[in-house]
Structure 1
């Protein structure tokens, strides 16, 4: 696996070594020993999630203010534009974002550490999105920042308004949201 820091160094792009031929392909999507050697991260993943979304669906920007989750995310069907936003008040990159295209074709994963908001928009007809988390889902601590916050100014690759859940449509502006210390 190849691990590359993004413009926000703690957010990591992970590219697996893929073995393929005329029959198809094989790759390890996760190997704990290699993960720890390549990233220096020791935490355990405690939950795996799988979502399926249609074209134009935007999920996020989600985070848990307590029981903060690190997420290792990837797309196994279709393509998404995946975003991480630094919500650590004391960080020099507070309020900044990074985005990566994740697809079934490129097989890349993104590591989003605790202290970051996360979201994605589906660019293909459908996308299936898998992610491992370092903490359990805790709805009582869940927060959402609105996807189009002008202070964050994410450059989403959209040609029309995204499809949002009621919760995501009611997300707060960063300046009004609870963030990490």
Structure 2
């Protein structure tokens, strides 16, 4: 497994596994404590694993947390997703930068999303399972949602969303969510 920094988002990484493929399929390590530690991320900080399953063109996001934020490791364990992270850390050298990428079960690549970055994805297959490793227990009072279709962000979603949560559909603009208006 190797760690690949994402220059668009300071502190974001892709963790690319080395699958062992044969006639049966493949075996792949999806988390390696020492590789994570080697890029300055505390592997012992993660306290919760979660998974979501989405039908085709379901859109989830854009989400982040207030307070000290929430770092997460995200991997598409089945299917394919169009994944988006946006750097919303005011002092970051990559503030307001975006990174769009496809995560899939073929690659089993894990994306590390630093605290203070918004995250969302749209499923490209039905189903698409996304696994999360999160560094703090969930507190709904700290949840922030930003409009997926905010013109300031202009995220190039592959499809019009076929289904979203009411919370995501009613999310405020980036300016409102961040208290700029």
Considering the TM-score relative to the shorter chain, is it more than 0.5? yes
| Aligned position for 1:80 | 81
Correspondence list, 1:103-118, <5 A: 103-118=104-119
Please state how far the C-alpha of 1:67 moved relative to its aligned partner.
Answer: 4.5
| Aligned position for 2:173 | 173
Answer yes or no: is the 8 Å Cα contact 2:30–2:109 preserved in 1.
no
Note if 1:3 corresponds to 2:11.
Answer: no
Correspondence list, 1:14-163, <5 A: 14-37=15-38, 39-42=39-42, 44-158=45-159, 160-163=160-163
> Please, which runs of 5 or more residues in structure 1 have no aligned partner?
none
Q: Normalising to structure 2: TM-score of the pair? A: 0.92
What RMSD over aligned residues (CA atoms) do the two structures have, in Å?
1.4
Deviation track 1:65-113 (CA, whole Å, cap 9, x = no partner) reads 0251101000111100111111112223222211110011121111001
Structure 1 SS opposite 2:175: helix
User: Number of residues paired by the alignment?
Assistant: 177
Answer yes or no: is the 8 Å Cα contact 1:16–1:107 preserved in 2.
yes
> Please, which runs of 5 or more residues in structure 2 have no aligned partner?
none
Q: Distance in 1 between matches of 2:65 and 2:78?
A: 26
Deviation track 1:111-146 (CA, whole Å, cap 9, x = no partner) reads 001010110000012101101001111101101001
Structure 1 SS opposite 2:34: helix
Q: Normalising to structure 1: TM-score of the pair? A: 0.92
Q: Distance in 2 between matches of 1:89 and 1:162?
A: 33
Please state how far the C-alpha of 1:157 moved relative to its aligned partner.
Answer: 1.6
Q: Distance in 1 between matches of 2:5 and 2:34?
A: 19
